[in-house]
Amino acid sequence: MRLHFLGAAQTVTGSAYLLETNKQRFLIDAGLSQGSAHSYELNARALPFHPRHLDGIILTHAHADHSGLIPRLVAEGFRGPIYATPPTIDLCRIILPDAGTIQEEDAKSENKWRRKHGKNLLTPLYTKQQAEHALKYFERLPYLKRTTLGRNIRLTLHDAGHILGSSIVELEVEGSRLVFTGDLGNVNNQLLRNPATLPHADYLITESTYGNRSHGRVSDRVAKLKEVVLNARGPVIVPAFAVERTQELLFDLHRLIAQGEIPPLPIYVDSPMAVSATALFEKHPNCLAPEIQAMFRTRSPFEMPNMHFIREAEASARLNKLNEPAIIISASGMCEGGRIRHHLYHHLSQEETTVLFVGYQAERTLGRRIRDGAPQVTLFNETIPVRAKVVAIDAYSAHADANGLMDWIGAFEEAPALTFITHGELAASEALAERLAEEHGLISVIPAPGEAYELMPASSSPSTLRLREETA
């Protein structure tokens, strides 16, 4: 069998691995490349297979950098099935149509420029309508339910503890066991269960986002959150990703209030996507950490008299006049779009405001400029002075850090014969490869984008695995 590394190779987005046997062809993840000036070209590039000839997609989780290429594949003739856990499918119902809208808007604004300069116009990678159409090819596969794909491939999904519904993919193919971590979560994440550990893999394909870094402790992040809230003299504006980060924050705030550590000040979740995503946590409590499941049996941790979930634009606009201490959690997480820009527009110039960052701020984003201390920023074509207090808590992360990855890989009863390190910047992947060799004696490779490897059946002679490298 052959494994092609189509994306997330020496980078962190665009996850897509093609597994080919003599008879079948499956994709593990089909994600969008994001955050580069060439993202459109990367996402629209020719693929080494025709989507019509694909036998199925196995989706680890709903994040667009893992799922966002699916509508394109369906538009080009792929007809399913797409295997995913029920919460992943529910999240995709929110995330994929939204990705379609963004594709349409991006093409529109790019074409404005192209028209002016006499260039060829772009068509959107896919539309919202095409994304909605793709949803009908999903097939629910609960955790730990072993299923057969075609004639002889067995598939089992295990909890990855990264976001709601996220999975580790275990495939039994031609006498070998392949394990794909997808994005691996943290142990003691609070909200989700710990990533499942597996006894055995012949070939391991692991992410390495934080292969060279370590996160702060959960207790430190809660202490810092408490300090920010207690010191607030006006609104605390929190740009946060709608899925997972918003719910983690709500959970931490709920606990601080319940324990009497902070006053029950008003909390506004002002993002339609975050409101929908929060409802999904309530729909799938069995996928959450045991402590939270117990909580849900009495009352949802997302229900408190002072928590307000806002969908309507009018109610959102009323928050512009807010002066007293309150928490406004809004998207997008890097302040590049969405309602957060309105809150910043109205509150950044006031000294009483606190802007609290709880997520990664990529270069060249508005969030990054504010976080780095820009004295003024441009919002809606106006220059806004930044007088607000700016605070960042870095310990929120949906990914395992370097020690988390090492511990998880170290938990295999039988070490993998070969590990492919993906989904990380090269320095992070190399740091993980080095530690795996030193601490566990593991052999690993860091595939380059487009490379393919021939995997020898592990059952015949796992010690003499041969690799064949080629450029797709």
Whichever of 309 and 408 has its CB closer to Zn ion, that residue is 408
Label the pairing between strands 389-392 and 451-454.
unpaired
Stretch that binds Zn ion, among 175-183, 208-216, 263-271, 386-394 (CB under 5 A): 175-183
Interaction residues for Zn ion, span 177-196 (CB under 5 A): 183
Residues in the chain, overall count? 472
Stretch that binds Zn ion, among 57-65, 189-197, 201-209, 367-375 (CB under 5 A): 57-65
Contact characters 7-46, Zn ion, x per CB under 5 A: ----------------------------------------
Please give the span between the terminal C-alpha atoms of the chain, in angstroms, as a whole number: 15
Whether a cis peptide bond, with omega within 30° of 0, leads into 332 is: yes
**Cβ of residue 183: shortest distance to Zn ion, in angstroms?**
4
Q: Which residue among 63, 221, 371, 435 contacts Zn ion (CB under 5 A)?
A: 63
Whichever of 167 and 354 has its CB closer to Zn ion, that residue is 167
Distances (CA, A) of 225 to 267, 323, 335, 379, 436: 14, 20, 20, 27, 35
Residue 346 binds to Zn ion (criterion: CB under 5 A): no
**Cβ of residue 123: shortest distance to Zn ion, in angstroms?**
28
173 phi, psi to nearest 5 deg: -135, 125
The amino acid present at 469, given as its one-letter code, is E
Whichever of 31 and 416 has its CB closer to Zn ion, that residue is 31
SS3 content of the chain, % helix, strand, coil (to 5): 35, 20, 45
Q: Using an 8 Å Cβ cutoff, are 388 and 350 in contact? A: yes
* Number of residues lying near Zn ion (CB under 5 A): 2
Q: Using an 8 Å Cβ cutoff, are 454 and 448 in contact? A: no
Stretch that binds Zn ion, among 15-23, 56-64, 292-300, 343-351 (CB under 5 A): 56-64
Residue 423 binds to Zn ion (criterion: CB under 5 A): no
**Cβ of residue 162: shortest distance to Zn ion, in angstroms?**
6
Q: In this structure, what token pair is assigned to residue 437?
A: 């060799």
**Cβ of residue 65: shortest distance to Zn ion, in angstroms?**
7
Whichever of 47 and 160 has its CB closer to Zn ion, that residue is 160
**Cβ of residue 94: shortest distance to Zn ion, in angstroms?**
15
Residue 248 binds to Zn ion (criterion: CB under 5 A): no
Order of strands across the sheet that contains 418-421:
147-149, 153-159, 167-173, 176-180, 203-206, 418-421, 444-445
Q: Give residues in contact with Zn ion (CB under 5 A).
A: 63, 183
